[in-house]
Amino acid sequence: SQQGEEDPQALSIQEGENATMNCSYKTSINNLQWYRQNSGRGLVHLILIRSNEREKHSGRLRVTLDTSKKSSSLLITASRAADTASYFCATDRSGANNLFFGTGTRLTVIP
């Protein structure tokens, strides 16, 4: 079964707007990661947030983690057409030593 569920499943915005994607998970975790996938390509790591962290930034990306609610959000600011891709959260579940991926959010940024 999937560990993470992203919301929304699909998101369409205008270039320059911000995009927010959410991820919920079910069990305790060591860390949570976000990946990007261009259509049919391999996944690329974006950012990792540890269970004792609440917020992390990387360029135009901002990730938050609320372990009490078992949820995370990914914010992409000032979106660009090149940000069009699918975004997946992945959790390193405590004791599992593996990553469990969610179902992904398909982001379309309209020029």
Partner 1 sequence: DADVTQTPRNRITKTGKRIMLECSQTKGHDRMYWYRQDPGLGLRLIYYSFDVKDINKGEISDGYSVSRQAQAKFSLSLESAIPNQTALYFCATGTGMPTGELFFGEGSRLTVL
For the CB of residue 111, give the shortest distance to partner 1 in the complex, in Å.
Answer: 26
Among 67, 77, 103, 108, the residue binding partner 1 under the rule CB under 8 A is: 103
Distance CA 66, CA 64 (A): 7
C-alpha dihedral (18, 8, 26, 101), degrees to nearest 10:
-80
102 belongs to the binding site for partner 1 (CB under 8 A): yes
26 belongs to the binding site for partner 1 (CB under 8 A): no
11 belongs to the binding site for partner 1 (CB under 8 A): no
Neighbouring C-beta atoms of residue 111, cutoff 10 Å: 9
Helix (H/G/I), strand (E/B), else coil: 13:
strand
Distance CA 87, CA 44 (A): 10
CA 102 remoteness from chain centre = 9
Among 42, 68, 69, 111, the residue binding partner 1 under the rule CB under 8 A is: 42
- Closest to partner 1 by CB, 41 vs 54, is 41
Q: Which residues bind partner 1 (CB under 8 A)?
A: 1-2, 4, 30-31, 33, 35, 40-45, 48, 88, 90, 92, 97-104
